[in-house]
Structure 1
């Protein structure tokens, strides 16, 4: 259990008086900051937010690296992943209000007659974003990170399910705001776990949830954001459709153009999904509903996750994640956000070492520029480093706890 200080009083998180202390800190508008005592002699400031009827203690912005690696508030350095590129610009956290403001580089409305955009995060000869706004993929990475789904401990084996994933994603979206919306959670549609005996109830809840995306007689069409696990991607009468695993009776439609570009841009993700039967393929998409209430996708991005719902980029990522999982080690997964695949990042941060160990994979044919950028990243990091240069042969021994 963690120990916190409220003014001159120190309280364990399992103390019966702890919830009242957190509530009091919130009602006093955080005039006296709670402090986390996980990593003495440091006393790291915290703040309190309210979500529905719950009071939640959160770390202050940019302090995650200072917490002990076993603390719930610990966060790997933002510079080791794509988070560092968007933090403070596309993502701004306000401890006074408890809100996080997001800036998107994709539209949440569609004017009549406008062609749909290309599948999100297209990699080619042009630059789509300067990092000041979140791409669709970057948004999915941020939510996954905020939901704690990039963090792994041995005790989690067999305990993650779609129901849990959905719950934490919606909770993570609740205190996020931005231009045109006061709660990101209201923009999100994430299918609830399907139960055949409750099919009608689930359909009614879906209809209510999707009402904001129904086309209006005048003005631009409002878009919502869907996150789901893809079960099938197949032809329909006038194009193609996505069947989500927990939404068997309500397909999301794609026209032929966006389907063809999706296959090209996310060919690697689709190939991995087809080859690894135990993995999951997650999509995030903007969509609208016509007057017939048929869902049509406007923009989409894909992400592979393991059977334990940990994101991975390719087979080498998966091999390392599996090795760490089988070795019963704690770790966090680094995500790219807006960063292109050509840029180096830490695949994992091993949390059982002191300090934590940033784990890098050097892909075959990476080149001198990539090597120079990787060396700069390693030199600037406060973490220890572990390097798997694939061209040199077998994976090195995993970091040992100390």
Structure 2
């Protein structure tokens, strides 16, 4: 069992009074310290489903010792690397991540207040100085530790746990000078016995997106699971799980969405166990209609682990049966023709493992970039599956 330093005392996480100590520290805004290194590494306390949990600070995973459960492989192996210090800046004192966004959170008339991009908003940009909407979703998922999995968690991760993880992650992020969780809406799991309470909390949260008089209108951000799409009079309706009303999207934006996310939509429709996750900016009109402005999507499997193609799913399915922890790499704003570590195994011995899946259409530039990535992280043992050469190699 792990031990943590809280104030001047050391506590064992297996002790009966550990939860009460965490609750007291949470109220006093004390930061627990992990003694896996010297000096000890600061962490934070999150409240999830009525329990208090100690979590690592944003981007601090690689600062922990390799044998520590909080250790995380280097972020240079994923699309997160180019964003650190640019679009994502960490306050060393508070641990908060200050984010620079390339999408608008306000709207005037039919146009965003900021300059409208010359390309569709769903186009993935390679500017490391700002986060696209898709990168924002990936960062929430990564910081919420929803990229991690072990077979010991089977049956314990549903939308309620996902929601708590996302909101806890958002509390560590600052956008446009304010906390992200002030403008992030994530639907609650619907329970009939708490119908009125859920409705009241939802209305209070969505008040920030309600149109109010003239002038620029504030937008909110939402992360939710898509239930289905259906036709509307002048566009499409997007029905989301745990919500009693649809979100509207106009026909032009709908066509762009289908073109940009053709791969994700095809993957989602291929497997009943997959979930389609949507992140969007939205506003609510004076008559109460919720309308999407910009949108990005991501597919996750039955364990809520992100997956971008069927080869990744085969690998994740094999790893999901193991007790050791696996961490899914995310692309953020990198294009599909650039390599990333699909999965890392931080607890593998004698050294952590970085797992790469080379697509059948990989060219010489892809191979060069892959070799450079492997050489730059000599402390990680590479495992490579070249899909064009046949079946998945034996797992390390």
The answer to whether the 8 A contact 2:73-2:346 is kept is no
Which moves more between the two structures, 366-375 or 85-94?
85-94
Residues 7-48 of structure 1 deviation map (CA, whole Å, 9 limit, x = unaligned): 986543344479759977997987xxx65333xxx4253225
The answer to whether the 8 A contact 1:47-1:59 is kept is yes
Question: How has the CA–CA distance of structure 1 residues 202 and 56 changed in structure 2, closer, same or farther, with 3 Å as cutoff?
Answer: closer
Residues 184-213 of structure 1 deviation map (CA, whole Å, 9 limit, x = unaligned): 111111111123454444333222211111
Question: How has the CA–CA distance of structure 1 residues 27 and 276 changed in structure 2, closer, same or farther, with 3 Å as cutoff?
Answer: closer
Unmatched segments (≥5 aa) in structure 2: none
Matched, 1:336 2:331: yes
Q: Provide the residue aligned with 2:13 in structure 1.
A: 13
Q: Provide the residue aligned with 1:359 in structure 2.
A: 355
Equivalent position to 2:370, from 368, 374, 380: 374
Equivalent position to 1:326, from 321, 324, 329: 321
Equivalent position to 1:107, from 104, 107, 110: 104
Q: In structure 1, how many angstroms separate the alpha carbons of the residues matched to 2:56 and 2:192?
A: 41
The answer to whether the 8 A contact 2:312-2:342 is kept is yes
The answer to whether the 8 A contact 1:279-1:306 is kept is yes
Q: In structure 1, how many angstroms separate the alpha carbons of the residues matched to 2:30 and 2:200?
A: 39
Q: Provide the residue aligned with 2:78 in structure 1.
A: 81
**TM-score scaled by structure 1?**
0.87
Q: Provide the residue aligned with 1:308 in structure 2.
A: 303
Matched, 1:208 2:209: no
Q: In structure 2, how many angstroms separate the alpha carbons of the residues matched to 1:82 and 1:226?
A: 22
Q: Provide the residue aligned with 1:194 in structure 2.
A: 190
Q: In structure 2, how many angstroms separate the alpha carbons of the residues matched to 1:229 and 1:397?
A: 34
Q: Provide the residue aligned with 1:162 in structure 2.
A: 159
Q: In structure 1, how many angstroms separate the alpha carbons of the residues matched to 2:52 and 2:273?
A: 37
Matched, 1:240 2:243: no
The answer to whether the 8 A contact 1:26-1:49 is kept is no
**TM-score scaled by structure 2?**
0.89
Matched, 1:398 2:395: yes
The answer to whether the 8 A contact 1:48-1:56 is kept is no
Unmatched segments (≥5 aa) in structure 1: none
Equivalent position to 1:230, from 205, 226, 233: 226
- Does the residue aligned with 2:40 lie in a helix, a strand or coil? strand
Q: Provide the residue aligned with 2:175 in structure 1.
A: 178
- Does the residue aligned with 1:317 lie in a helix, a strand or coil? helix
Q: In structure 1, how many angstroms separate the alpha carbons of the residues matched to 2:167 and 2:215?
A: 29
Q: In structure 2, how many angstroms separate the alpha carbons of the residues matched to 1:374 and 1:333?
A: 17
Q: In structure 2, how many angstroms separate the alpha carbons of the residues matched to 1:340 and 1:95?
A: 30
Question: How has the CA–CA distance of structure 1 residues 179 and 158 changed in structure 2, closer, same or farther, with 3 Å as cutoff?
Answer: same
How far apart are 1:88 and its partner, in Å? 1.8
Q: Provide the residue aligned with 1:389 in structure 2.
A: 386
Question: How has the CA–CA distance of structure 1 residues 273 and 62 changed in structure 2, closer, same or farther, with 3 Å as cutoff?
Answer: closer
Question: How has the CA–CA distance of structure 1 residues 48 and 63 changed in structure 2, closer, same or farther, with 3 Å as cutoff?
Answer: closer
The answer to whether the 8 A contact 2:346-2:352 is kept is yes
The answer to whether the 8 A contact 1:143-1:169 is kept is yes
Q: Provide the residue aligned with 1:218 in structure 2.
A: 214
Q: In structure 2, how many angstroms separate the alpha carbons of the residues matched to 1:338 and 1:96?
A: 28
How much is the aligned-residue C-alpha RMSD, in angstroms?
A: 2.9
Q: In structure 1, how many angstroms separate the alpha carbons of the residues matched to 2:310 and 2:278?
A: 19
How far apart are 1:149 and its partner, in Å? 0.6
Q: In structure 1, how many angstroms separate the alpha carbons of the residues matched to 2:261 and 2:236?
A: 16
Question: How has the CA–CA distance of structure 1 residues 27 and 281 changed in structure 2, closer, same or farther, with 3 Å as cutoff?
Answer: closer
Q: In structure 2, how many angstroms separate the alpha carbons of the residues matched to 1:184 and 1:393?
A: 44
Q: Provide the residue aligned with 1:290 in structure 2.
A: 285
